[in-house]
Amino acid sequence: MKENTIIDTFWLIVKYILSASVIALIIRGFVLIPVPVEGNSMSNTLIQGDFVLMEKFTSIKRFDIIVFQMNDGTTYIKRVIGLPGDTISYRENQLYVNDEPVHEEFLQANLAEDHEAIPFTNDFEFYELMGVKKLGKGSYFVLGDNRRVSKDSRSFGSISEENIIGKARLIFYPFWRIRLI
């Protein structure tokens, strides 16, 4: 009788382990997807060597950090600045969305470290940069938080909704940098 109890307990544990493994694989593959950060265009928010968890289910809002892939296969992580229908401009280190000044609180650490006389974000007008008056339907304007070195919408244009893979939500590695983003 004791032998049956041990065997039953063993198979119960195996079933739990298999079930937990399947659930973990589904979550890892379809809900929270790990993405490595390469480069320094998003520092100080994200730095080289960080790993973030990305999700695909929530809608994109201004200042979300997104993961997207260009048509050449290159994957980027940038911050959404402009939403469909917006015009974006910069004048004297000030962001303007639809001609209204908008504060970028997430840049404060970068600006505080900045002791150089050159602007953190070079001035531009949306029409001169993009050749259109406003972002089209399903188009987003993205910038890196480290504006001086970032390759972003200022160089490759707006991002199509179809190219967006998901939103970065959490730094999970290295462990001392774990936090929501």
Active-site residues, by number, are: 41, 78
Q: How far is CA 92 from the centre of its chain?
A: 26
CB-side neighbour CA atoms (13 Å) of 37: 29
Q: The tokens 């999700």 sit on which residue?
A: 55
Q: Where are the beta strands (DSSP E) in 7-160?
A: 33-36, 51-55, 65-69, 75-82, 88-91, 94-97, 100-102, 139-143, 159-160
**SS3 call for 138:** coil
Q: How far is CA 46 from the centre of its chain?
A: 9
Residue 163 and residue 68 in contact, taking contact as beta carbons nearer than 8 Å: yes
Question: Quick one: which H or E segment has residue 170?
Answer: strand 164-173
| Token output for 145 | 């938080």
